[in-house]
């Protein structure tokens, strides 16, 4: 395509500018982040086969002596009976607890879980009183998960929606391949957090390890402490009044608001130099990497 002068760019519409700058070769598809939904249109938020549950109807499940499959099946059976609040006792680090719940539920896991807990969920509100292993909330689509203590690596891997919260610190690769939603960390996060991030917001109240936001395509990362280093194409941006208002609301909601407020947070976004990486000349690729 012929080169475009600055004067010509000013006369173009926004869509024409984007095309002229070669930024349309890799477009994310699917639901727009700007669509506003009617909260009264419940049929849009619930699966037609989802059980009708009463949050005031409460029961407990003792995980001792049961397999993960047995516990997860028991959760579904209790939901079919109308139980809206289920407490799992003695989880003792079991893997894959509470996965694949695709409807409303108040789930309390009283203890610690292993790998892949509460993954592939779409709607439940989950509270885990202990620690969690790798990939908690993996591919989460909607709802909330609040972990009271620490979490392992790949916390919120490929998350697509909802709020995933860890009041303590998390391991490396937090939010890897993140596609939406919000991840909140009350403590520190490890290396390569936000790696290949595509959408969504990540908030780290403490420090961040090496290569933060490496190869991120879009989305926003906020860090309240020190950043050991940023990864490829992750750059610092201005913390606006809108950012501060959102941070204040979100952190207050989960009791994570720092005593000194949010003015000290650093905002990291994609530099967007990798958007058209394949079209660059070899010497340009070296400059970016």
pLDDT digits (tens, 9 = 90+) for 15-63: 676 565 555 444 545 444 444 445 565 555 678 888 999 999 999 999 9
Q: Could you tell me whether strands 266-270 and 220-223 are parallel, antiparallel, or unpaired per DSSP bridges?
A: antiparallel
Q: Which is nearest to 50 in space by CA: 160, 124, 119?
A: 124
pLDDT of residue 5: 61
The beta-strand segments (E) located in the chain are 54-62, 83-89, 106-110, 122-128, 142-147, 163-166, 179-185, 199-204, 220-223, 234-237, 266-270
| pLDDT value at 250 more than 70 | yes
For 15, the 3-state DSSP assignment is: helix
For residue 110, give the 3-state DSSP assignment.
Answer: strand
Strand order in the sheet with 122-128: 54-62, 83-89, 106-110, 122-128, 142-147, 163-166, 179-185, 199-204, 220-223, 266-270, 234-237
- Is the sign of the CA dihedral 24, 28, 31, 32 positive or negative? negative
Average pLDDT value for residue range 249-253: 97
235, 271 Cβ separation under 8 angstroms: yes
The residue ranges of every structural domain in the chain are 49-288
Question: Which pLDDT belongs to residue 239?
Answer: 96
> Could you read off the pLDDT of 61-82 as tens digits, one per residue?
999 999 999 999 999 999 999 9
**Domain 49-288: which topology?**
Pectate Lyase C-like (2.160.20)
Return the minimum-mean-pLDDT range out of 232-246, 252-266, 267-281. 267-281
pLDDT at 1 over 50: no
Which comes out higher in pLDDT, residue 103 or 289? Answer: 103
E-strand ranges in 22-68 read 54-62
Q: Would you state the pLDDT for residue 265?
A: 98
pLDDT > 70: percent of the chain: 80
pTM (2 d.p.): 0.83
Query: For 177-230, what is each residue's pLDDT tens digit?
Result: 999 999 999 999 999 999 999 999 999 999 999 999 999 999 999 999 999 999
- The size of the chain, in residues, is 289
Alpha-helical runs (H) found in the chain:
6-11, 14-20, 68-80, 241-253, 282-288
User: Per residue in 137-185, pLDDT tens?
Assistant: 999 999 999 999 999 999 999 999 999 999 999 999 999 999 999 999 9
Q: Between these two residues, 125 and 277, which has the higher pLDDT value?
A: 125
Q: What is the C-alpha to C-alpha distance for residues 210 and 195, in angstroms, rounded to an integer?
A: 11
Q: What's the gap between Cα 175 and its chain centre?
A: 6
Output phi, psi for 66, to 5 deg: -115, 155
Residue 259 binned pLDDT confidence (cut-offs 50, 70, 90): very high
91 vs 13, higher pLDDT: 91
**CA separation, residue 42 to residues 39, 46, 103, 104, 119 (Å):** 7, 6, 12, 12, 23
pLDDT computed for residue 272 by the predictor: 87
Distance, CA of 6 to chain centre: 38
Does residue 2 have a pLDDT over 50? no
């Amino acid at each position: 395509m012929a080169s475009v002068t600055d004067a010509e760019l000013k006369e173009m519409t926004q869509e024409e500018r984007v095309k002229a700058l070669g930024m349309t070769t890799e477009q994310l598809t699917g639901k727009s982040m700007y669509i506003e939904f009617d909260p009264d249109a419940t049929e849009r938020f619930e699966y037609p086969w989802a059980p009708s549950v009463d949050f005031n109807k409460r029961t407990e499940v003792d995980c001792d002596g049961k397999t993960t499959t047995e516990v997860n099946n028991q959760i579904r059976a209790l939901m079919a009976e109308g139980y809206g609040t289920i407490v799992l006792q003695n989880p003792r680090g079991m893997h894959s607890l509470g996965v694949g719940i695709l409807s409303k539920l108040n789930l309390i896991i009283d203890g610690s879980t292993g790998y892949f807990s509460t993954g592939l969920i779409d709607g439940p509100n989950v509270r885990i009183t202990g620690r969690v292993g790798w990939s908690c909330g993996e591919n989460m689509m909607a709802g909330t998960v609040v972990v009271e203590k620490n979490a392992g690596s790949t916390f919120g891997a490929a998350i697509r929606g909802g709020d995933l919260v860890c009041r303590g610190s998390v391991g490396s690769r937090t939010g890897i391949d993140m596609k939406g939603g919000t991840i909140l960390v009350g403590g520190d996060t490890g290396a390569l957090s936000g790696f290949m991030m595509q959408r969504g917001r990540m908030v780290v109240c403490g420090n961040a390890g090496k290569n933060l936001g490496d190869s991120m395509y879009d989305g926003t990362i906020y860090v309240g402490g020190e950043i050991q280093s940023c990864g490829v194409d992750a750059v610092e941006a201005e913390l606006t009044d809108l950012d501060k208002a959102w941070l204040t609301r979100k952190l207050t909601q989960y009791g994570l608001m720092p005593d000194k407020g949010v003015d000290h947070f650093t905002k990291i976004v994609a530099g967007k130099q990798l958007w058209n990486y394949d079209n660059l000349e070899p010497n340009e690729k070296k400059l970016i990497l």
